[in-house]
Structure 1
Amino acid sequence: MNSTVGQQLLVRDTFTTAFMKNFIVVLVWFLLSYINGSVVATFFRHQIFYEDPRYILFIHMVINDAVQLTVTIALFVVSYVLYTISVGVCCFFILVAVFTTRSTPVNLAGMAIERYIAICYPLRHAEICTVRRAYMLIGVIWFISVVPDITDLFVTLATEPLSFFQTAVFCLRPNVFKDPVLLYKRQAFDGIYFSLVFLTLLCTYLRIVFAARALSTERTSAKRATNTILLHGVQLLMCLLSYVSPSVEGILHIIFPGRILEIRFANYLIVYILPRFLSPIIYGVRDKKFRKYLKRYFVCSHPKIDTRVECKDEEE
């Protein structure tokens, strides 16, 4: 995003418009928090899930998306209420948002590989995909997600005086990490990351399709797996939007001058909020086993229905 657009973002909405925008995003945050909270609670209440690498990777992505959404909504609200915050606080929020945003596509790649092994190498799946390796993979995901962008902070510490971190800015990444080299570095890493993840999803999808044709007995499972990977591909495309959105905002501002706040709000809903709905849907609603326990969780927790005995019997 160029400096002109960054300056335009400081233009304030009317009180009514700002209130409505903040009300909408906070309402959406509560809705998604309830959905994600229910999914996470269902996961941890049933041992069958946290002993399965597939669901471990899934719940990691749900928690990651919940943190990412909370941080971005906090920044959105702050941009309307306070407008500027100290650089030090802004650095923390931006880095957490960047780390969680970058880890999502890498997590998608790991989940696609797990599905590929389950369909194409079913006899070795339990040997290859263990709980221990799932947690090791999560550690690798965070290492890959954190290392490239934490260098932005080190470069800024080396090039900016300490007094800079006490100044107040509108909390945007280009306003904090100003070195032009960092922009080219981010673009290079974004291209590498998403190219590798896209190729991973494409290769696993094609291999599962071929396996489904060769093994008629596994066609149903393979079809579910290919549909899941297709949805992961949609998630990946939505993740890509977060990296092109600054340029899109700049272009739209040129086409629709004076509408930067409306453009920014629409961009935020499409790029940051909409993709967060997909994670609980792919495994939380589409997956039969998880859906069964998720429905049971809602029914058993309903205060007006005494189904504790029934639910307990089903659990056993």
Structure 2
Amino acid sequence: MNSTRRQDSFDSAFTKNFITFAFGFIINFINGAFVYTYFKSQVLQQDPRYVLYIHLVINDMIMLSLSVALQILAYTAPLKFITCCIMVLISVTVNKNNPLNLAGMAVERYIAVCRPLHHVHICTVQRAYALISLIWGVSIIPALADIFIILATKPLSVFSSNVLCYRLNLYNTPYHKTQSMVIQILLFSFVFLTVIVTYMKVLLAARAASGSNQASARNARNTILLHGVQLGICMLSFISPFLNLILVTTWPQHLSKILFSTFLLTNMLPSLLSPLIYGIRDKTFCSHIRMHLRSKCCNSAGKRLKVMEGHQKRSKQVFD
């Protein structure tokens, strides 16, 4: 992919970087609205479900910002190896956070429906933060393993060299490929089984429940199903190499366009869709977003009205 970037004309490179930056800015702005709404609402901050959700959103914002930065840097200038290692370490970590976070959210919904009497004691805000810490701890291990493999297989002088910063260029040994494949299979197998098991448990609870309990179980079942969709969206970034291989083999003359299009599809779009479909579907979160938007609009209108009244008073004083 690096060679195609170097072969791009200035206009083509500028256009791609501008589109990447613009999309990244718009998506982070939308996700930032969810983060702003969360931190403005005490009700949302006291619910472990929304603590995990907002972690998902913030994680997507970090991942998207790093993806955009690495994309632009790959077109513009090489970085020091150690600087690139740090950026890729964070990128790999947040990339693995998302599926684990979705598994945690699915388990929380399962406990809410199938263990309602224990939900208040098991699913607390403090335990949600502890789970987030555990997720980061688990996710950073493969990223650190990549660096240890570099230390074991390459001379220390490599850390002072300049590189074009993207993961496959940085970690290109057979050990990295094996480690990455094993971790991805284990990670997604664990998350996939968690989502499937919790969905089946909630499905059985929905059939056995009646009245309002049945409606609650049905909503939880749909939410866990949505987590499965989000997991599928997260997996887009992992199927990107296979998708590139198929498309480039079919249309080799459009190599640069294909690689850029799949980057937008598999790296940027999931950062918007995954938080957006959950945040819009959730009635509580939607109501808080509308409330804060109305509050902002009313405040803006009030400020404009005060400014106009001030201008009118000054104009009246001048004429008087």
TM over 0.5: yes
Counterpart position of 2:54: 59
The whole-number CA distance in structure 1 between the counterparts of 2:278 and 2:171 is: 37
Deviation at 1:241, TM superposition (A): 2.3
AA partner of residue 52 (structure 1) = D
Counterpart position of 2:219: 224
Deviation at 1:214, TM superposition (A): 0.7
Asked whether the 8 Å contact 1:90–1:171 carries over to 2, the reply is yes
Identity of aligned residues (%): 42
Deviation at 1:184, TM superposition (A): 0.6
CA distance 1:22–1:7, change in 2 (3 Å) = closer
- Three-state SS of the structure 1 residue aligned to 2:117 is coil
Residue 124 of structure 2 corresponds to residue 130 of structure 1: yes
Deviation at 1:149, TM superposition (A): 2.3
The whole-number CA distance in structure 2 between the counterparts of 1:99 and 1:41 is: 24
Asked whether the 8 Å contact 1:10–1:170 carries over to 2, the reply is no
CA distance 1:247–1:85, change in 2 (3 Å) = farther
Residue 161 of structure 2 corresponds to residue 167 of structure 1: yes
The whole-number CA distance in structure 1 between the counterparts of 2:115 and 2:302 is: 44
Task: Give the number of the structure whose residues are more often helix, by fraction.
Answer: 2
Asked whether the 8 Å contact 2:209–2:217 carries over to 1, the reply is no
Counterpart position of 1:276: 271
Q: Deviations over 1:253-288 (max 9, x none)?
A: 222223222111111111111111233324421111
Counterpart position of 2:97: 103
The whole-number CA distance in structure 1 between the counterparts of 2:180 and 2:173 is: 11
Greater Rg by CA: 2
Q: Deviations over 1:166-207 (max 9, x none)?
A: 322232323212321121111011101101100111111111
Query: Unaligned 5+ residue runs, structure 1?
Result: 1-5, 308-316
- Three-state SS of the structure 2 residue aligned to 1:150 is helix
The whole-number CA distance in structure 2 between the counterparts of 1:236 and 1:115 is: 16
Asked whether the 8 Å contact 1:228–1:282 carries over to 2, the reply is no
Given the alignment, which residue of 59, 71, 77 partners 1:76?
71
Mapping of residues 177-188 of structure 1, within 5 Å: 177-188=171-182
Mapping of residues 122-271 of structure 1, within 5 Å: 122-217=116-211, 218-271=213-266
Q: Deviations over 1:188-237 (max 9, x none)?
A: 11101101100111111111111111102222222222222222112211
Counterpart position of 1:18: 13
Counterpart position of 1:304: 300
CA distance 1:168–1:7, change in 2 (3 Å) = same
Asked whether the 8 Å contact 1:54–1:111 carries over to 2, the reply is yes
**What is the TM-score with the length of structure 2 in the denominator?**
0.88
Deviation at 1:10, TM superposition (A): 4.0
CA RMSD of aligned residues (A): 1.8
AA partner of residue 220 (structure 2) = A
How many pairs does the alignment contain?
301
The whole-number CA distance in structure 2 between the counterparts of 1:250 and 1:170 is: 22
Residue 79 of structure 2 corresponds to residue 85 of structure 1: yes
Asked whether the 8 Å contact 1:103–1:141 carries over to 2, the reply is yes
Which range is displaced more, 193-202 or 235-244? 235-244
The whole-number CA distance in structure 2 between the counterparts of 1:144 and 1:205 is: 24
AA partner of residue 169 (structure 1) = V
Counterpart position of 2:311: none
AA partner of residue 77 (structure 1) = I
Residue 116 of structure 2 corresponds to residue 116 of structure 1: no
Asked whether the 8 Å contact 1:9–1:260 carries over to 2, the reply is yes
Q: Deviations over 1:99-144 (max 9, x none)?
A: 0011100000000000111111112110110111111111111111
AA partner of residue 240 (structure 1) = M
